[in-house]
A and B are shown apart, each in its own frame.
Chain A
Amino acid sequence: MPETKTKMMSRRKFLQMSGALAAATAVADPCRVLYALTKVAGENDPARIKEVFSACDMCFNKCGLIAQVENNVIRKLDPNPKSLKSRGMLCARGNAGVKQLYDPDRLKYPLLRKGARGEGKWMRLTWDQALDHAAEQLDRIGKEYTRCGFLFMAGTDMQSTFVHQFAEAYGSYNVISHESNCLLSRNRAFLDTYGVMPTPDVLNCKYVIMPGANRFEAIVTPDSMDLMSAKAKKSKLVVLDPRFTKTAAFADEWYPIKPGTDMAFFLAIAHVIIAEELYDKTFVKEMTSGFEELREHVKQYTPQWAQVETDIPARDIKRIARELAAAAPSAMVYPGRRSSDYEDSTQIRRSYAIVNALLGNWDREGGLLVPKKVKPGSMHIEAPFYEDNPDDRVDAGRAQMMFDEEGSFKHTRDAVIEGKPYPIKGWMTYKTNPMQTGANRDKTIEMIHKLDFMMTVDIAMSDTAWMADLVLPAPSYLERQDPLSAFLASSTCSGVITRDPVVPAMFESKPVFWIVKELAKRLDLGEFFDFTVDDFRKAQLKKIPEVAKALKEDGVYNVSGPSFGLHKGKPFKTRSKKIELYNTRYRDKGIDPMPVYNKPKVIPKNYFRIVVGRNAYITQSASTNNSLLWELEKENKLWIHPKPAANLNINDNETIIVKSSAGKVTIKARVTKETRPDTVYMDTGYGVLSKGLTNIFGKGACIAEVLEDKADKISGNMAMHETLVTVSKA
């Protein structure tokens, strides 16, 4: 555009001025304000935009991104093509990250509860007042109920390590993560079979059976993209899911399996593979233990028997078993991610792990791999010893084989409510939202009412923050300095990523590192936080200096190259040093050493099994209020098949009541053949209590309100698909 033209007073510019004047007199009509329309000189000058590397935090994937910054404002987030994990993409949530930063619903200052819990009455505090108050509570509760009387819960975050470190210095070993509402039973099963949680090489796999997982909607990088690349290479995808998910839409074969019967399917697959001697004989002989026991065990689980259990024809089970074995070792049962579904969830995943072992896909291209992981150093602290602390965690003994470092939300909550084996009176949460993600919301509220003090550090007023006594505002991922984070993506990549502030932190938000450091100072624990994030990073980089250069130049450090064949001849980290088809530790603990099938409970007349999940633009409860994403789904609906809907006289989009023993919700119906007639489905992340989430407040229903809180017996993982509901017109 010629320079002279931009200087001219155009008709449009004139309108803009008169429009602005008009707006001043007609404030009730904000649409009257006109925007600047003329291009300013230099607008197309590439130098006006600064590019800054970061890592996305809209979900757990940590995809590489490049922020486009103009005048200290982030204009756009672009994918970082250098990240081999995210393969040069940024999903809808990643693109909506700017709205997490520039969101009018963000927490701006420390808030102290003034009314009843959950009433939404707050008083603004200064940071000094807030920290003094929190430190007083930590001190008092620690003295009165022991240090373990204070519970800590931090979600998946690059700064959660500092919350753990603070809990350690403070002296509580009651630390739980979000993971017991997610994937612990899967990890348990694979660890107890392989001694490690392998990653699936989807990219090079020729035959993938995907039970339950919804990889084209619940995006995991790079698996979601690799699955599509594999499809282009004519890989076969078989999906088992009571719902016709988008993953099912892209599958070569979709089986609407009866919920809760996946184990029957895989035991029958094992039956066929063993009976027809299709397994990798050398591999099974050299690398596994308990094959003879398994052979005997699966004799009873015939395809004909599984047909009755799963609703999948026996001839298809036989054919799939043969095809799978023919494609081996580039064939797999996909381990999946969230496994918080049934009370025998670990045993269900054990059946996946066992079929994989029969295929001999361990450490082979297109199979289950353990890539080289970068191991940053760390700063270990010598935590003080508190003599009066109880002997064990508060949730100890409630599950057969819990992960101590993750804990169990369900069991901890029960323990707090019961006050047994000892009382818990304080709770700090950071970037996790159990009010929305922990089944049976009423019980979470009951737990909170047992507490003297609850503090929440978050970006927005989540439902968990809404129930807290003290709410502290954290910056978004685009405004803070984080430690390095090593990631293990899958087959072809692992690496390291980090974050520096792209723009300065807004409002009075402070990172959780600063918060725990300030609390430590006030509690005479300052010596344990006598460092900066920079110091922490230096310690992390000590043995891997090459990482710093890559992070600076590319925004990511990738370890690429073949990630199979790395473990030849190495023993497995299991008791037998082999892959445990038969687990002797389980036997010794009175747990079935091989998965034993138990029928799911029969669904009585007029009842449905409810299952939950999400789509590509939802991260549980953390993203649904983001206005860019909210526009894509303004409320969740209950998916119900047309047949039962007709019987109940329920029309599409009609408001209905969904009721379980845990609670009752009101929601609109989505009448669709995309779910089985006996199964209804809801997205996560709606039906909030918090009036601080202005877009979604009053919209849809909360899964935690209607789900019953059963748990996986072995890992203590929440079991969210055990709930049966009735559905009726509102």
Chain B
Amino acid sequence: MKQRKKYVIIIDAAKCIDCKACLVACKVENKVPEGFWRNWISVLGGENGSLRTEYQPSQCMQCNDPSCVAACPVQATYKQENGLVVIDPEKCIGCGNCITACPYKARYRNPGKRIADKCDFCEDRLNRGKEPACVVTCPTKTRVFGDMNDPESQVAQMAKTQKLVQIAAPHINTRPNIFYYEGTQLLDWAVTPKLPGNINMPRDFWKTVSTAEKG
């Protein structure tokens, strides 16, 4: 039997020069409307005029235990076999539960389509044999994309040789599939999500520590 794919992105934030190529590439590829983004770059520093010293790119983390999926009342958002968390535009009713349920603020409501939208690692490009737009366009190759279940892949090799961490939200662990190099500073963009009352998450989803965790 063919091994299931597990798509991940490994980010070496120390290489990000904040050039915003990934933001524009994503916006064009996925027709993201003005004022909204599927990916972003967080900045270390800059408050009250302080020096900005590090830049951290990110996007939807295609979590193993996605709180957005649990929060969707109509099963419009679901996790595929290849690990991607996607939205069925025909099923989505635009209720917005998944948007507040995401600890990474990775989702937005597309005002034209009036449904939720977020990064899907450019699934359309993957189907055409291309890597995600943000990955290929990067001048310093900050992001590395691949199938973690393929031992020959660059990401699997990196996971062996490089100490990686995940950015986890306070109180919950959705087991994200974006990994950062160890030493990446934990910024405040992972938040406690607002979850609907009736969702059913695994026991180890709830946690008490807020930290960058070992992958």
Contact = CB atoms under 8 A, between A and B. Distances in A.
22 contacts: A33-B112, A37-B115, A38-B89, A43-B124, A49-B128, A81-B136, A89-B139, A90-B25, A92-B23, A95-B27, A216-B19, A217-B17, A221-B139, A224-B140, A228-B139, A246-B18, A249-B54, A616-B19, A617-B19, A627-B34, A631-B35, A673-B49
Given A89-B138, A92-B21, A95-B28, A671 B49 contact: yes
Chain B interface residue count: which class?
A: 35 or more
Nearest to B128: A46
Given A78-B136, A79-B136, A95 B49 contact: no
B215 to A, nearest CB: 21
Contacts of B139: 87, 89, 91, 219, 221, 224-225, 228
A228 B140 contact: yes
A52 B23 CA distance: 23
Nearest to B20: A92
B163 to A, nearest CB: 16
B137 A90 contact: yes
B90 A90 contact: no
Contacts of B27: 95, 628
B129 to A, nearest CB: 7
B127 interface: yes
B17 A616 contact: yes
B24 A628 contact: yes
Contact of A44 (B50, B52, B128): B128
A31 interface: yes
B127 A44 contact: yes
B128 A674 contact: no
B15 interface: yes
B89 A12 contact: yes
Nearest to B110: A35
Given A44-B124, A225-B140, A673-B50, A91 B21 contact: yes
A95 B50 contact: no
Secondary structure of the A side of the interface? loop
A629 B34 CA distance: 11
Which of B15, B28, B53 has the most C-beta atoms of chain A within 10 angstroms of its own C-beta?
Answer: B28
Given A228-B140, A671-B49, A94 B90 contact: no
A98 interface: yes
Nearest to A670: B49
B114 interface: yes
Interface of A: 10-12, 31, 33-35, 37-38, 43-44, 46, 49, 75-79, 81, 87-92, 94-96, 98, 216-217, 219, 221, 224-225, 228, 232, 244, 246, 249-250, 616-617, 627-629, 631-632, 642, 652, 671-674
A75 B125 CA distance: 12
B113 interface: yes
B133 interface: yes
B129 A98 contact: no
Given A35-B113, A95-B24, A250-B17, A12 B90 contact: yes
A693 B19 CA distance: 24
A668 B35 CA distance: 21
Nearest to A86: B139
Contacts of B28: 75-77, 95-96, 98, 628
Contacts of A224: 17, 139-140
Contacts, number: 124
B24 A629 contact: yes
A642 B138 CA distance: 34
Interface in B28-50: 28-29, 34-35, 49-50
Interface string B111-142: 11111000000001001111001001111110
B51 interface: yes
Question: Which of B51, B90, B139 has the most A CB atoms < 10 Å from its CB?
Answer: B139
Contact of B133 (A76, A81, A96): A76
Given A11-B90, A225-B140, A616 B18 contact: yes
B161 to A, nearest CB: 14
Contact of B137 (A10, A11, A78, A629): A78
Interface string B88-121: 0110000000000000000000011111000000
A228 B137 contact: no
Interface in B125-172: 127-130, 133, 136-141
A656 B121 CA distance: 43
B17 A35 contact: no
Contacts of B115: 37
A685 to B, nearest CB: 15
A672 B128 contact: no
A38 B53 CA distance: 44
B19 A672 contact: no
Contacts of B18: 246, 616
A510 to B, nearest CB: 27
B17 A228 contact: yes
A528 to B, nearest CB: 41
Give the top 6 A-B pairs by smallest Cβ distance, nearest first: A616-B19, A95-B24, A89-B139, A216-B17, A37-B89, A228-B140
Nearest to B127: A44
A49 B125 CA distance: 11
A49 B20 CA distance: 26
Nearest to A674: B51
Contacts of A95: 21, 24-25, 27-28, 137
A92 B24 contact: yes
Contacts of A35: 112-113
A309 to B, nearest CB: 25
A672 B64 CA distance: 41
Given A12-B89, A89-B139, A91-B139, A632 B23 contact: yes
A316 to B, nearest CB: 19
Interface string B1-26: 00000000000000101111101110
A245 to B, nearest CB: 10
Contacts of A98: 28
A250 B12 CA distance: 14
Among A95, A627, A632, A652, chain B packs the most CB atoms within 10 A around the CB of A95
B23 to A, nearest CB: 7
Contacts of A250: 17
